[in-house]
Chain A
């Protein structure tokens, strides 16, 4: 009987306060999503940033073979090495091509360089899947499908024909499409039908093979190094002339770790903090809004324990549903969205403990946030409980109202600016959510402007930038939801006051202005906190990214890429590589060698001092005054985005109903 009474009171309360119930559900869902994303990024960084070849249908290693130095039998035998699980080979060749002067690309100048073309009948192979981004796969000789590394297509999309300058007659190749691999693989610059390779070889192009391998153990660079060593031992010296790991290249794994220690963890912490603040604020407000009802229940005869149980049940059901929905949303949509486009379309299975920990933590937070005010209300005498929710907190915010009243601003604005001080705890929650969201935006702006200068690979820099942007959107959206939930609760609490204003002649637009201004003061204070915090945090994160790249020797690139720079995928001029004796590849920037990877086995390692430039850049202030202004406006935008819904509700709620509210 007792339990039934509690459940009845709880279900009736939830049904009557439908808006509150829905808000709790949405808050828990979004907060759990954020917590799940945050925990996953922080706890499983290597997995999160590794391209898992089995999931992604890519090879672990792609090597270019000089066909004049091996026999078919030797190549076939590599497929049966102890460490190899699968091997497939394609005819290939490397030619020199010239891209004609193209407006918007490389300063509009012609660009020459090598192009490694692989002969394949289709995009789908036993070990990999090439994605056609535009156009089509080659259907006949003379056509190529260009590998769109680093999004080069955006610059040369209008290009249709290139000339093979290393062969007599300078045959032309028509670009019929742009495609991409899951991994950055610069050993395959373009694809053509196998007979095209034959034709190029007949015209004098070198005979090569492209061999793709998967291995039993290829989860780290060290393992792939060992696999490569096994291949090298099985083939004649000099047979392997180039290659790439279909794992993120060594640089990306280093970068991945750099991202983990630098950007993922700060964003993960932001997401978790936001989730905690929002839940605590929303749930506590929901309980306090029902104080009068608690008093009535006590009058009927509910004990303090039953009161607490009633509220835990009333809020617990939408909270549980929300946290479960958030777990599903985070697992199936949010996390893959963040990872997919940023990182070679990788989706990573979330560890089970995170699937349990994220909702459990959010529910625990919600439970604590509900329990404390519910227990307090349960202990109050019935009369006090009834009046506690109604009694004006006359002492709070009076000075602010008086001060605001003196400002030469319209009354709705001054009333709105002063209101937050009457509810300091709730205003602190609003302030915290906007501060955290804006800090994420400040961090992203700084890192985005520096990333191409501190990350050695342009492609990886673009990927990192995309990741910052997605993580920033996550925390910004969550912050706006936090503001929405808090202000909606506040508007419903102050509905009678809003009704009085409207009865006295405040127009709907003025009501919207007033409620929107509830969030303005916190937004301004948030900007004062978030800007210096983000500015102080940015160089820490940037230096971590740089430092992670200057790692130990085993993290150096495995293999030299193709000699020189592949045409059609050229890096900006400042990073033009130069072929060096012995097959080493040097990339220069501003005349200084940035990477100097010697031939395999040379023991040559990147010098720590080679990163002094990026480190110096990482320590510089990347922000412009204009960006600061925009970031302040961004804080206001977060606040207003969250305030708009409650403001419109306040403006449209019926005045007569509002006046009868208690």
Chain B
């Protein structure tokens, strides 16, 4: 398998001598795959996501994304890695309340120095595809939870990241909205976007992921194929995906 994400014997301890949040986890995610990570609270799901995103560093082992060792990068290089290779979707959206919807979406592009015209065009495209173009000059405080999460998804895609990481993306919205978000993610994956999804919901995992990895006490307790997800069409992430 041509692995896009590789975790090799990864361990993470937050306190010396304390119980590990992750213990000798080995995991591969192929390009275009949708993987759901499940487990009870404290099982290490968010820790795993943070390590892949470069928001944290493992105590042991190696994390490789798109052929690059992430765990050995400096803080500055990690920031650049996140800009270009990673799109993150959070449970509570993590939008900047004093920026408009469009400015929130543009922020990662501005950090990478994308030419303004190209960035705005891409922003418009994404907002249109996600059905929130009419809110581009609005502020997040005025949007519903589902709309905010769409903004967050648009922001995560603006730099065409190699990996989309979603941490409980439907955890803060109602069921119906959660369905919509889930379908969005499904469509993105259908377009070829590699997706790692942390969720409590077996249903979400079953419907929107190729595989489900179960964590228990920091270790992989199961790694099974599911009936969900779509085949890799090879299309560019976001391109043509419609809500």
**Do residues A401 and B103 form an inter-chain contact, with CB atoms below 8 A?**
yes
**Do residues B82 and A503 form an inter-chain contact, with CB atoms below 8 A?**
yes
**Do residues A503 and B76 form an inter-chain contact, with CB atoms below 8 A?**
no
Contact residue among A392, A501, A659 (Cβ-Cβ distance under 8 Å from B90): A659
Contact residue among A402, A503, A506 (Cβ-Cβ distance under 8 Å from B55): A503
Q: How many residues in B have their beta carbons less than 8 Å from beta carbons of A?
A: 32
Assembled-state Cα–Cα distance A497/B104 (Å): 12
**Do residues A402 and B107 form an inter-chain contact, with CB atoms below 8 A?**
no
| B242: interface (CB < 8 Å) | no
**Do residues A503 and B88 form an inter-chain contact, with CB atoms below 8 A?**
yes
Question: For residue B146, which residues in chain A have a CB less than 8 angstroms away from its CB?
Answer: none
Question: For residue B107, which residues in chain A have a CB less than 8 angstroms away from its CB?
Answer: 411, 501, 504
Q: Given A505-B82, A506-B79, A656-B55: A422 and B98 within 8 A (CB)?
A: yes
**Do residues A500 and B94 form an inter-chain contact, with CB atoms below 8 A?**
yes
Question: For residue A499, which residues in chain B have a CB less than 8 angstroms away from its CB?
Answer: 94
| A508: interface (CB < 8 Å) | yes
Assembled-state Cα–Cα distance A362/B141 (Å): 39
**Do residues A405 and B103 form an inter-chain contact, with CB atoms below 8 A?**
yes
Q: How many residues in A have their beta carbons less than 8 Å from beta carbons of B?
A: 29
Question: For residue A364, which residues in chain B have a CB less than 8 angstroms away from its CB?
Answer: none
**Do residues B79 and A502 form an inter-chain contact, with CB atoms below 8 A?**
yes
Assembled-state Cα–Cα distance A509/B80 (Å): 12
Q: Given A504-B155, A507-B80: A397 and B98 within 8 A (CB)?
A: yes
| B180: interface (CB < 8 Å) | no
Which single residue of chain B is at the shortest CB-CB distance from A652? B75
| B50: interface (CB < 8 Å) | yes
Assembled-state Cα–Cα distance A469/B125 (Å): 60
Assembled-state Cα–Cα distance A394/B140 (Å): 9
Question: For residue B50, which residues in chain A have a CB less than 8 angstroms away from its CB?
Answer: 656
Q: Given A503-B55, A504-B107, A504-B108: A509 and B76 within 8 A (CB)?
A: yes
Least distance between B136 CB and chain A CB atoms (Å):
12
Most buried by B among A397, A499, A503: A503
Assembled-state Cα–Cα distance A422/B96 (Å): 13
**Do residues B94 and A503 form an inter-chain contact, with CB atoms below 8 A?**
yes
Least distance between B6 CB and chain A CB atoms (Å):
22
Residue interface bits B131-149, CB-to-A below 8 A is 1, else 0: 0000000011110000000
Least distance between B117 CB and chain A CB atoms (Å):
13
Contact residue among A392, A401, A402 (Cβ-Cβ distance under 8 Å from B141): A392
Assembled-state Cα–Cα distance A655/B139 (Å): 24
**Do residues A508 and B79 form an inter-chain contact, with CB atoms below 8 A?**
yes
Least distance between B57 CB and chain A CB atoms (Å):
11
| B227: interface (CB < 8 Å) | no
**Do residues B98 and A394 form an inter-chain contact, with CB atoms below 8 A?**
yes
Least distance between A377 CB and chain B CB atoms (Å):
21
Assembled-state Cα–Cα distance A397/B99 (Å): 9
Which single residue of chain A is at the shortest CB-CB distance from B103? A405
**Do residues B76 and A394 form an inter-chain contact, with CB atoms below 8 A?**
no
**Do residues B76 and A655 form an inter-chain contact, with CB atoms below 8 A?**
no
Which single residue of chain B is at the shortest CB-CB distance from A391? B141
Least distance between B200 CB and chain A CB atoms (Å):
17
**Do residues B76 and A508 form an inter-chain contact, with CB atoms below 8 A?**
yes
Least distance between A434 CB and chain B CB atoms (Å):
23
Question: For residue A396, which residues in chain B have a CB less than 8 angstroms away from its CB?
Answer: 98
| A69: interface (CB < 8 Å) | no
Least distance between B240 CB and chain A CB atoms (Å):
25
Q: Given A405-B103, A422-B98, A503-B55: A411 and B110 within 8 A (CB)?
A: yes
| B217: interface (CB < 8 Å) | no
Question: For residue B139, which residues in chain A have a CB less than 8 angstroms away from its CB?
Answer: 392, 394, 398
Q: Using a CB-CB cutoff of 8 Å, which residues 125-182 of chain B contact chain A?
A: 139-142, 155
Question: For residue B140, which residues in chain A have a CB less than 8 angstroms away from its CB?
Answer: 392
Question: For residue B98, which residues in chain A have a CB less than 8 angstroms away from its CB?
Answer: 392-394, 396-398, 401, 419, 422
Question: For residue A394, which residues in chain B have a CB less than 8 angstroms away from its CB?
Answer: 97-98, 139, 141-142
Least distance between A655 CB and chain B CB atoms (Å):
5
Question: For residue A593, which residues in chain B have a CB less than 8 angstroms away from its CB?
Answer: none
| A384: interface (CB < 8 Å) | no
**Do residues A655 and B110 form an inter-chain contact, with CB atoms below 8 A?**
no
**Do residues B94 and A507 form an inter-chain contact, with CB atoms below 8 A?**
no
**Do residues A411 and B88 form an inter-chain contact, with CB atoms below 8 A?**
no
**Do residues B83 and A504 form an inter-chain contact, with CB atoms below 8 A?**
yes
Assembled-state Cα–Cα distance A399/B151 (Å): 20
Least distance between A178 CB and chain B CB atoms (Å):
55
Question: For residue A507, which residues in chain B have a CB less than 8 angstroms away from its CB?
Answer: 75-76, 79-80
| A510: interface (CB < 8 Å) | yes
Which single residue of chain B is at the shortest CB-CB distance from A421? B98
| B232: interface (CB < 8 Å) | no
Which single residue of chain A is at the shortest CB-CB distance from B82? A505
Question: For residue A508, which residues in chain B have a CB less than 8 angstroms away from its CB?
Answer: 75-76, 79
Question: For residue A659, which residues in chain B have a CB less than 8 angstroms away from its CB?
Answer: 90, 94
Residue interface bits A383-424, CB-to-B below 8 A is 1, else 0: 000000000111011100110010000010000000100100
Assembled-state Cα–Cα distance A170/B112 (Å): 82
| B111: interface (CB < 8 Å) | yes
Question: For residue B110, which residues in chain A have a CB less than 8 angstroms away from its CB?
Answer: 411
| B9: interface (CB < 8 Å) | no
Contact residue among A401, A506, A655, A656 (Cβ-Cβ distance under 8 Å from B99): A401
Residue interface bits A507-518, CB-to-B below 8 A is 1, else 0: 111100000000
Assembled-state Cα–Cα distance A504/B93 (Å): 12
Assembled-state Cα–Cα distance A505/B140 (Å): 21
**Do residues B56 and A656 form an inter-chain contact, with CB atoms below 8 A?**
yes
Question: For residue A502, which residues in chain B have a CB less than 8 angstroms away from its CB?
Answer: 79
Q: Given A401-B103, A656-B56: A505 and B83 within 8 A (CB)?
A: yes
Least distance between B161 CB and chain A CB atoms (Å):
10
Other 15 A-B pairs with CB < 8 A, given A398-B139, A504-B155: A392-B141, A393-B98, A394-B97, A394-B142, A397-B98, A398-B100, A411-B107, A411-B110, A422-B98, A500-B95, A504-B83, A504-B107, A506-B79, A508-B76, A510-B79
A and B contact pairs by CB, cutoff 8 A, 20 listed:
A393-B98, A394-B97, A394-B141, A411-B107, A411-B110, A422-B98, A497-B96, A501-B96, A501-B107, A503-B55, A504-B155, A505-B81, A505-B83, A505-B111, A505-B112, A507-B76, A508-B79, A509-B76, A510-B111, A659-B94
Ranked nearest first, the 8 interchain pairs of A and B with the lowest CB-CB distance are A505-B83, A392-B97, A411-B110, A507-B79, A505-B82, A394-B141, A507-B76, A505-B79
